Chain A
């Protein structure tokens, strides 16, 4: 139809599929230390997974009648979801409170959140004994409405959709579909509100899963307030993960960083550190209320009491204090250290509730088998590879354009000038 330039010889759909074919080729070295490690882990992992489906869960895990849940639930799902909380906190700060200074890290965080939920849902499928029935809570006519797990399952699904919508403008940009991107960007604020609401419920919901295990979880970790504690701690868990993951990816992908991000990295980190510090202060007090309410002082004088204090003091109070000092002194290195401690604290807390302090009285306690750990690593490494694939192709770390003034629907158009030029060149040279 259009013969003005000799380059326009193909129609749009052919252009896009050719473009995608080109994009599927690997960028960067195929043989690198990380790639080799990932390949080993994933190949063996796939073997283990096949074995798991052939022989049953017992063949690859140390789960038992006494301990029905292990690290696949306790770490992959429960801890993983806490770590993915950065998405709802950051979108709250940027889109609800209009704290634009955090804008440069939103896309990467939302992408991470989306991938985390997809992969942890996948990990969940591995843990289900009869995964072919997983559609029952979705389309079956026997909804277990009284079940917290039913609620969590639905929220997971809906949240993944919301995250996908939040992330999709970047994908549309990558494919050069400007109109689609405009439509999707208009949906962002709705997806954000939906996502924050859902996150509140499923972060606390994961805690609510353990409410009926009264008597099975050590009284220093069991209370009717577990949902509140999980929700509050998910705030600094998510932000600490943003800090930690940002540290790594800003190094690894340093050539992809946009100008604004490079200009404000330390300001962003200090700001996130401040929110973490404040939230951890509040969290300690909430734990204090729960402590008093449960009259927990009677349990302190024991090995478990010592472990509880270790978690609270060493892995909540200490990183909280480090964050405080780091923010006041603008010490970026200390913020990073504090975030690692905070993340460890979250892992310890979630594992305590779900696995470690679960049936603390049992003569033989559960510990994960090497296969359980290996399969967990398989899931994580696959997720990292997908993240890398996307980041290397789609505009995740690059600069957004200025927000249009006076536009209530927050329609913002992001593009990186360099990317656009390369795109045109790539597509037109087919």
Chain B
């Protein structure tokens, strides 16, 4: 089914909560995440003519967000902005029932993953895509996806320790 620009827009509005979650898993904090969502949504709306009939708006948006995230990071590096040290040496105290503390701990651990592992983890573990879907969004072979996912997951497991 071919979608009119206004239909694509409606889909994107509906996707905003998920786009914010995906962006949050790629970013250090919600502020950076929302900046990323904004860039991705603007690009999508400007280029809605490139949306292929029959494709999934969600998968299309995730692909756009991938490029937007990489561009935003490159831009920061070019401007010489020094990122806050990802590893501050202090770890938040995590209690089992504190969602906020859990978010902080996972977010810190994610921040230490290399870009390509973080993308694989974000799409599969956070967004719940299948390996095949995630590989298509990232435009990589499925074997590459699984190897990045496995390495990212091992690093997270080591970092986060055994859950209660």
Do A and B belong to a common assembly? Answer: no
Listed in ascending order, the chain A residues whose CB lies under 8 Å from chain B are none
